[in-house]
Structure 1
């Protein structure tokens, strides 16, 4: 098995410069340290698989893959006390999501960090309906459709006692409701919010739906959309102007 110093690239194979670089990263925040360790482990994996091959290396490779998965989760969970660290965390998280390394990343802590980084005086008094009426309407539709699906699901369960015909009819109605909700969530994900209030609304929709429908692909698009919009709003917060780069598409 590989030793700990080999896992983190601090052994002799990296040389003195790498040792100094490693010590420099150790003095950074938890997000930076986890990202550094993730990159080193990824390099080790590629090195073993490309140069040494798979023979007699199965245990080492398995250990590295487990460590890589652990570090990916650690990046998501790491505290980001500054907006600079949070930007790194968001960028790395988006990359991990696109590669399928992690699933759900928008935890309450994660969204609280984003809200704190973007917070300005008067945010709490602002109304989504007044600021971004289109997004407000989209979110309202999702909430109404979610409530309707929950009610129809109760009907499907009750129809088991009423006979097969009712069960089929309710099942068809539920299927249509699912399709409509799916498209509505995609509409929220595609919307490019311009305010922190809008970003918070996207996060709430994600959290509410995750409790019931965590297998919907549109939820992962909504999560990616949140990260994309945060990056845009953070740029404006830091530089006092909109980013010259267009926002990437989601999904």
Structure 2
């Protein structure tokens, strides 16, 4: 018996909405009778974060985004990040799960001496999603910190934090064979997995990797956002050994769900 001919579309929508975005797409492809339900706004709104409306209203492209159908919006949000918080943060969906991804741009980070032009400069990069990135000119003490509230992240989700950066091809000093400290803390409790990693790819090919957007990334640590209540997560890059460091370009710190896929 073909249940698609018996159940009303509202029931089909409810059933499909209890699966996943990938399953909804498969349903639309393999069963023409389910296509209308599988592509409906009622289904795809369930896959969007419950606060998606307030998030996209922070974007300069909000007028375009709010006019989209829910499936189109979902595909748009995993295909390209949107800028929010006056273009200092970006938001994106993880493709297969619909969980939230954020990047804290350099302007959203606390950079020690970041407003001192002799130590750091703020410049634009054609391959950056943000209007400005931070370029290290000269410091002895390197410390960068980012913070996000756990309620902004997807609950019951393991996240990893990544420093997104470049080392200038000429003029980078103090990073070759010299690891930096990377750590993640939740509600002030530092992770037991604090790490020291060189940002030079030749030193750490297992940890430093090239992204598809032309930047490099290194994992800072991971954490479980169990409930998404009113807590905070801090991400820290620190190197305070007494030697000169220069040539590091920071785009931001990205948070992505870990261990998800099709």
- When the two structures are superposed, what TM-score results if normalisation uses the length of structure 1? 0.31
Q: Choose between structure 1 and 2 for higher RCO, CA contacts under 8 A separated by at least 6 residues.
A: 2
Who wins on radius of gyration, i.e. which is larger? 1
Q: Which has the higher strand share?
A: 2
